[in-house]
Structure 1
Amino acid sequence: MKLENESLLLEFDCKGAELRRALNKETQKELMWNGDAAFWGRVSPVLFPIVGKVFNGKYSIDGQDYHLSQHGFLRDQEFEVVRHTEHEFVFEFHSDDVLLDVYPFKHKVQIAYKLDGKRITVTWHIYNKDEKEMYYAIGAHPAFLLDAEGDYEFVFEQTENVHQYGLKEGFIDGKVPVQLDRIEVNEANFKDTTLIYDHTSEVKLINKITQESVTVGYEGFDYLALWRPCKEGVMAPFVCIEPWVGIADEYGGYRDIREKLGIKRLQKGDDIVHQYTVTFQ
């Protein structure tokens, strides 16, 4: 399944409603990771109904325990295409009774991709189809390719009132105030860790040699994660820019989901929209 214009070619998969490819048609340059499992077998999964991990792999609601794996289940579900135009795809997923064993809320999720020039607008529309209040988190995880000879840095628009979150075994472990400006995409900053911040709304990844860039805008999102994995001492040839509505559990934080850090509430019958943009230059 494809969207394309004079600038970009995009390819999608109904599994997880995932964007699997972005090609710059002018240069024939691949812009996103190819999903090679040697480093990471995904390209841009949608994280739902949790972001990160729940402590001990479980959470509770009204005294009942439920088990969820990291980043939830939506990325592995089959979606249906409900709208396809020259410039837009809309995918839709309806929960089933099987999922109630791990997430006891009936819901529907629509994921839309709109292509305009070199900009991709991604819209998540979440519907609470249950007769009770629903709790959720949702996040993006797109992986952008890095040139082997490139010299990259992140440049932030918002530099004040930002916190960086510590991690312990993949769980949140405190936070400290930081003054964000630029972050070099190198081994010293990214080996064996994920950088997580709050109170930002836009970040640009720029190749200082070629001046090529990708800008991700995520106004209204609570957190941003930056991740570049390392395997057997080799840094991955990509970096992930991850706007999150929600965050992993705090270390030692097994608790009722209502008290979970960053959790969102959606009243019965209500719906909500979250949206971010990716602009290549």
Structure 2
Amino acid sequence: MIILENEILRATIAPKGAELQSLINTTTGIEHMWSGDAAYWAKFSPVLFPIVGGLKNDTYYFNDTAYQLPRHGFARDKTFAAEQLSLAEAVFTLTHDEQTLAVYPFEFVLKLRYRLNGSTLSCTYEVYNPGKEELLFSVGAHPAFAVPFVKDTNYSDYYLQFNVAEKLDRWKLENGLIAAPEPLQFDNNTLPLQPSLFYEDAIVLKHMQTNTITLACTKNDHGIHFKFDDFPFFGIWAAKDAPFVCLEPWCGIADSVTHDQQLKNKEGINVLAANTNWQRSWSVACF
């Protein structure tokens, strides 16, 4: 485990999956990350790469060849090379190998850079294309935050506050694939948390103007500001009746029910030229 710490926060990250597993506000004693209880969901904050969501029939085609990938890809199950740069910063690196090339025929370097700055933890995804051909990929975040995170409060005491007033559609999922939209029901940019929100899988949003979502409680003054920029898709999810909520900025999305399974035609696919870099960041500020 790699531990980052400053005067306010302590973060613990596992080299397997470069997965953030703990984020404690040491001034309040609040653990903001989900515990990873396998009775509900045994992960904490998996990285989604080289796809986000599911593929139609778990299959895509590239250059007339069929390849299979599981939901959210393989990076979350791979061990990254870990380098602690300081007490407050670490970098985790994953590169292509024979196993990845068999299911994903692209050379790549994926880095996750975690950094503490005061009460904020940032996570930056850096993708480099070391190959001679274009790199086609998706990447996304999946951090699970504990709800409730303060004793003597309940799940229904918590809410998500969007920082922009806008009307949003929830894109419904059919067997993990994007289907038809329906209006997301929320008032004054606020989405009260209820377990039933996720009984039909994740809330999937597209191209919203919101770039900060606050997770807060009606019974105390603690919570997080979750900030993300230049992620065209966003997921909100929890396992059935589980005491957490995932806030998921994505550069990529599951296949639609009508997708032709051609990787180059996949909605939200990112195309990176040879010998070039790409990056996106999200951050969580604890209060």
How big is the shift at 1:62? Answer: 1.6
Aligned mate of 1:152, from 158, 179, 185: 158
Question: What does the per-residue CA deviation read over 1:101-147, in whole Å, with 9 as the maximum and x for residues that have no partner?
Answer: 11000000111000011101111110112211111110100011112
Measured in 2, the distance between the counterparts of 1:178 and 1:31 equals 26
| TM-score normalised according to structure 1 size | 0.94
Measured in 1, the distance between the counterparts of 2:91 and 2:60 equals 31
Question: What does the per-residue CA deviation read over 1:162-199, in whole Å, with 9 as the maximum and x for residues that have no partner?
Answer: 43212111110023455861111103322232111121
**2:68 maps to which residue?**
67
Q: Are residue 223 (structure 1) and residue 233 (structure 2) matched?
A: yes
Question: What does the per-residue CA deviation read over 1:58-93, in whole Å, with 9 as the maximum and x for residues that have no partner?
Answer: 000121000000100011111112342121011111
Change (3 A) 1:66 1:138: same
**2:221 maps to which residue?**
211
Question: What does the per-residue CA deviation read over 1:196-224, in whole Å, with 9 as the maximum and x for residues that have no partner?
Answer: 11213211111111121111111110111
Measured in 1, the distance between the counterparts of 2:184 and 2:10 equals 38
Contact 1:3 1:11 in 2 (8 A): yes
Aligned to 2:196, the other structure's residue is in SS state helix
Aligned pairs for 1:36-75 (under 5 A) are 36-75=37-76
Contact 1:54 1:254 in 2 (8 A): no
How big is the shift at 1:254? Answer: 4.0
Aligned to 1:189, the other structure's residue is in SS state helix
Q: Are residue 95 (structure 1) and residue 96 (structure 2) matched?
A: yes
Gaps of 5+ in 2: none
**2:181 maps to which residue?**
175
Question: What does the per-residue CA deviation read over 1:245-271, in whole Å, with 9 as the maximum and x for residues that have no partner?
Answer: 110000142421011111111111211
Letter in 2 for 1:261: E
Measured in 2, the distance between the counterparts of 1:261 and 1:4 equals 38
| TM-score normalised according to structure 2 size | 0.92
Of Structure 1 and Structure 2, the greater strand share is in 1
CA RMSD, 1 decimal:
1.5
**2:205 maps to which residue?**
197
Measured in 1, the distance between the counterparts of 2:169 and 2:114 equals 30
Contact 1:91 1:110 in 2 (8 A): yes
Moved more, 269-278 or 74-83: 74-83
Gaps of 5+ in 1: none
**1:23 maps to which residue?**
24
Measured in 2, the distance between the counterparts of 1:251 and 1:129 equals 33
Moved more, 246-255 or 38-47: 246-255
Change (3 A) 1:40 1:251: same
Contact 2:45 2:143 in 1 (8 A): yes
Contact 1:6 1:117 in 2 (8 A): yes
Q: Percent identity?
A: 33
Contact 1:206 1:212 in 2 (8 A): yes
Moved more, 3-12 or 188-197: 188-197
Aligned to 1:3, the other structure's residue is in SS state strand
Measured in 1, the distance between the counterparts of 2:185 and 2:83 equals 44
Matched residues, number: 277
Aligned pairs for 1:67-86 (under 5 A) are 67-86=68-87
Measured in 1, the distance between the counterparts of 2:164 and 2:55 equals 29
Change (3 A) 1:265 1:124: same
